[in-house]
Chain A
Amino acid sequence: QVQLQESGPGLVKPSQTLSLTCTVSGGSISSGSYYWSWIRQPAGKGLEWIGRIYTSGSTNYNPSLKSRVTISVDTSKNQFSLKLSSVTAADTAVYYCAREAESIGGYSFDYWGQGTLVTVSS
């Protein structure tokens, strides 16, 4: 059973960089045809996909966040990470990591972390 767990600071100051790590257990992050994604959800609002990294290391980002986002992978630790720079209060949200698995027709988010709340405040 694959499990994902987010970790990182729960409080970040405005203009600083938000950094989160997702640790994957129950399977190797470098095996199979999977994307490893970050998704966020402001309180009381909907889901916003931030970006993803493929098992090959290639990345895709949400165009609205692309200039501030970096996603990387550390296969030795079975982790992938998110960095979001120049944060503002609008970046306050629950951040989820998720696995995007290939189905017959395409991809779906089949495993999710529990989510971690990140608050941007001085």
Chain B
Amino acid sequence: DIQMTQSPSSLSASVGDRVTITCQASQDISNYLNWYQQKPGKAPKLLIYDASNLETGVPSRFSGSGSGTDFTFTISSLQPEDIATYYCQQYDNLPTFGGGTKVEIK
């Protein structure tokens, strides 16, 4: 199994701050990495696919980068509506998710 290590597990930031989340794969997964946003009581929502491609309709303040084993997800300017838990997910083999990062407003 490919393991995904996501960090931090939680963070607190101010509105307007730049927020960065990292995800590390246990082996090379090329760019087979997606990012999801999950708000409380809701299903996850796809934000970024293939490591760096923005899903249609997703605000441009969200971005992703990386390849191989190390990936980064960034919110360029945190907004109140971005409060959620974010998950990375690899699909090089059978899908697996990272442990999640809970983003809160300071």
Query: Which residues of chain A have a CB within 8 Å of any CB of chain B?
Result: 37, 46-49, 52, 60, 62-63, 96, 98, 100, 103-110, 112-115
A4's nearest neighbour on chain B, judged by CB, is B43
- A105 is contacted by which of B32, B96, B97 (Cβ under 8 Å)? B32
A37's nearest neighbour on chain B, judged by CB, is B95
User: A106, B46: Cβ atoms under 8 Å?
Assistant: no
User: A104, B50: Cβ atoms under 8 Å?
Assistant: yes
- B99 is contacted by which of A46, A62, A107 (Cβ under 8 Å)? A46
- B96 is contacted by which of A37, A49, A108, A115 (Cβ under 8 Å)? A49
- B87 is contacted by which of A46, A60, A107, A113 (Cβ under 8 Å)? A46
Q: Is the interface of A mostly helix, strand, loop or mixed?
A: strand
What are 19 pairs between A and B in contact, CB < 8 Å? Answer: A37-B95, A46-B87, A46-B98, A46-B99, A47-B44, A47-B100, A49-B95, A49-B96, A96-B43, A100-B91, A104-B50, A105-B30, A105-B49, A106-B91, A108-B49, A108-B91, A109-B46, A114-B43, A115-B43
User: B30, A109: Cβ atoms under 8 Å?
Assistant: no
- A60 is contacted by which of B49, B51, B53, B94 (Cβ under 8 Å)? B94
Least CB distance, A30 to chain B, in whole angstroms: 22
